[in-house]
Amino acid sequence: MEIRAALPSERDEVLDLLARWYDDREFFARYNHNDPKFRDALCLVARDAGALVSTVQIFDRKIRLDGTAVPMGGIGSVFTHENYRHKGVASALMRLALQTLEREGFEVSLLFAERLTFYNQFGWKEIDRKFGVLTEAAAMRADFGVEIDVFDINRDLAEVAAIHRDYSGSFNVCVIRDPEDWRANCSFAGNQPMHPGEGSEEYFVLARAGGTIRAYARAIRLYGVTMVMEYGYRSGAEAALFALLRHLSESAQELPSSFRLIGDHRRAARLRSGSGATAPTGGIVTHTAHDKHLEERMAAAGAPVIHHTDNNYMWRIVTPEKLAARLNATPEGATARAMTLFASDASLFWTSDRF
């Protein structure tokens, strides 16, 4: 049994192995092909009897902690062939992943999991986080003077990225994106492609007023519900964001939009049919706990937030000494500070940055 980093010549074999998971090779290929920070040294494999039987991938990201950029290694694409499960193969890969995280200079690590105890043994700790559920989004009071447009990456990226930088960048744990990261994220953050080569199918909408983007929202269909996996708004433009949320709720219910639409909105259909299920209710799931002011405004607009908690959000400190130097603290103090920030309702990790 070989346990090592993948070779460039093995990329297709890795994807073939992962395709056994969802029967959707393209879902994994879009990360490997489009992520500018993908490298073979971060794709770990186990090979036995001439075949790849298990894999783990480390996703190279940076997050914001106390105003500084911290290298974060995300653990994802963890899969083992059914004939090799419960035989220690995945555990061996996780031990190699820890060595690789440290060698490659990552200071913290995040993964999303249901097998909590498996990852606990390697040092990851589950942390509760809150999602916001809006059951009355289709009735919320909003800015009815805005126009709802669709995002065009070549036309709108600079303006949207500036809103993201100003809004999301003010919260701890948010992933930092440069222009290359943004373009990559837009290629793999959406729904799973329904056909090979189809690409991301998120519904990315903008609220415009006087030609200026006042707010944006990125929506998909996730586990049968409408998920707004990221949004941003200019200071004082909460009502423009509410217009987008109301429009998304109306789209999910196949109701006419209350707003003037410009651009091609055919992707709105993915909110209704992306999972093959019948049309969902107008409820929206998103991230709101980090922005108490926004939650108060939502309640005042007729859409109070209900919080739903999950704990498949798992963090680990990889190199406490490096993190300590970055945060100007002792290793123990830096570890405690980081874990406090990971667990804080006032911190933010968008679903769009999942891996």
| φ/ψ of residue 189, rounded to 5 | -90, -5
> Does residue 16 surpass a pLDDT of 90?
yes
Note whether 173 and 262 are same-domain residues: yes
Specify which residues 313 forms β-bridges with.
112, 127
- Pair 110, 48 in one domain: yes
Please name every residue paired with 56 in a beta bridge, in sequence order, or none if there are none. Answer: 44
Same domain, 121 and 243: no
201 and 271 part of one domain: yes
- With a pLDDT cut of 90, the percent of the chain lying above it is 85
Do the Cβ atoms of 323 and 125 come closer than 8 Å?
Answer: no
16 and 141 belong to one structural domain = no
- Would you state the pLDDT for residue 275? 43
Same domain assignment for residues 302 and 336: no
Closest by CA position to 73, among listed 309, 322, 329: 322
220-259 pLDDT, tens digit each: 988 888 999 999 999 999 999 999 999 999 999 999 999 9
d(CA 38, CA 77): 13
Q: How many domains does the chain have?
A: 2
Instruction: Name the residue type at position 8.
Output: P
- Position 49 pLDDT exceeds 70: yes
- The strand pairing partners of 45, in sequence order, are 4, 55
Q: Where are the alpha helices (DSSP H) in 23-128?
A: 25-34, 89-103, 116-120
- Residue 287 CA to residue 122 CA, distance in Å, equals 28
Both structure tokens of 348:
């933010």
Q: What is the DSSP string of 266-293?
A: GGGGHHHHTTSSPPP-S-EEE--TT-HH
Which residues constitute the domain of residue 190?
131-308
Q: Please tell me whether residues 183 and 297 are part of one structural domain.
A: yes
Please count the other Cβ atoms lying within 10 Å of the Cβ belonging to residue 147: 17
Judged against a pLDDT cut of 70, whether residue 192 lies above it is answered with: no
pTM of the shown model: 0.94
Of 311, 339, 349, nearest in space to 114 by CA: 311
Strand partners, 47: 2, 52
Please state whether beta strands 225-233 and 284-286 pair in parallel, antiparallel, or not at all (unpaired): parallel
